[in-house]
Structure 1
Amino acid sequence: MGKFRNLILIVVALFLVSGCLGEDKTITMKVASTAYTSHVAQTSAHPFLGAWGDELKPGMKAIAVSRDLIQKGLTHNTKVKIEGLSGEYVVKDKMNKRWTDKIDIYMGLDTKAAKEWGKREVTITFEKKEKK
């Protein structure tokens, strides 16, 4: 019985120590991805305006996120690494409420590039921001 008690104490101690170290803020997840452009037919009457009020400019590395991902820490101005793409992308737009677990990659005015991207599953990585 003494060995079992010692094992329980070790497990509890490890649990408490890991809680004191803080949680890992790096999040990696698989999401569906598509691409969009700044054409009125794909966005709104203001195709260069993101949902948070940011001006979108062709050439910038930006993404829109489904609103459920915002709740998971993928908030406005979060930097994101996207599997298969170089550099970091920044969250500058929100998607319609009907989408879940999805990102939309901004392609400026390049309709051909957006169509070539199509729809695919990707792995994204980002740092969860501390709540203020």
Structure 2
Amino acid sequence: MNKFRNLLLIIAALFLISGCIGEEKTISMKVTSTAYTSQVAQTSSHPFLGAWGDELKPGMKCIAVSRDLIPKGLTHDTKVKIEGLPGEYMVKDKMNKRWTNKIDIYMGLDTKAAKDWGKREVTITFEKQD
């Protein structure tokens, strides 16, 4: 009887461990995307300062995220792949509380590029941090 109980305990432990090991860390989700520039009218009186205190510079590949995405894993300095754009972007800014399920792609001072991007739905992929 003890052997059977021990076997059941081992099987239960293996189930628990396999659940932790198999946890998916790569997350993909659809979000609304827009673009912004370091213009006072689009940001704040400090257009080159991100909400986490990072200095934004034209040419940087970074994004702002709506605050509801932060608990889902899009925290400061998370690397993000954006459908339709090459390379990886870093989360360096937060958006106003009124936005949900949205990212804003930083375009430096290139207002034309931001307008050309417009508003579109994209799939983003990122690794969830522990």
Q: Which interval holds the TM-score relative to the shorter structure?
A: 0.7 to 0.9
- Cα offset, 1:57, TM superposition: 0.2
Structure 2 residue runs without a partner (length 5+): 1-11
Q: Which amino acid aligns with 1:112?
A: K
Q: Which residue of 2 aligns with 1:128?
A: 128
Counterpart for residue 18 of structure 2: 18
Residue equivalent to 2:3: none
Q: Return the offset for 1:14.
A: 8.6
Instruction: Read off the aligned partner of 2:58 and give its amino acid letter.
Output: P
Number of equivalenced pairs: 119
Looking at structure 2, the residues matched to 80 and 49 of structure 1 have their Cα atoms a distance apart, in angstroms, of: 20
* Percent of matched pairs sharing the same residue: 86
Q: After superposition, give the CA deviation of every residue in 1:31-85 in whole Å (9 maximum; x if it has no partner).
A: 0000000000100000000000000000000000000000101000000000000
Instruction: Give 1:105's aligned residue.
Output: 105
The CA deviation at 1:21 is 1.6
* In 2, Cα distance between equivalents of 1:88 and 1:128: 15
Structure 2 CA distance, aligned partners of 1:27 and 1:124?
Answer: 8
The residue identity in structure 2 corresponding to 1:99 is: W
The two structures have a TM-score, normalised by structure 2, of 0.87
Mapped to 2, the partners of 1:43 and 1:20 lie a distance apart of: 41
Q: Which residue of 2 aligns with 1:74?
A: 74
Quote the residue 1:64 is aligned against.
64
TM-score, normalised via structure 1 length: 0.86
Query: Where in structure 1 are there 5+ consecutive unaligned residues?
Result: 1-11
**Residue 53 of structure 1 aligns with which residue?**
53
Separation of aligned partners in 1, 2:96 and 2:24: 30
Shift of 1:22: 4.0
Ranges of 4+ aligned residues in structure 1 off by more than 2 Å: 12-18
Alpha-carbon deviation of 1:13? 9.0
Distance 1:67 1:107, change over 3 A: same
- Deviation per residue, 1:76-97 (Å, 9 max, x gap): 0000000000000000000000
What amino acid sits opposite 1:126 in the alignment? F
Report the RMSD for the aligned CA atoms in angstroms: 1.5
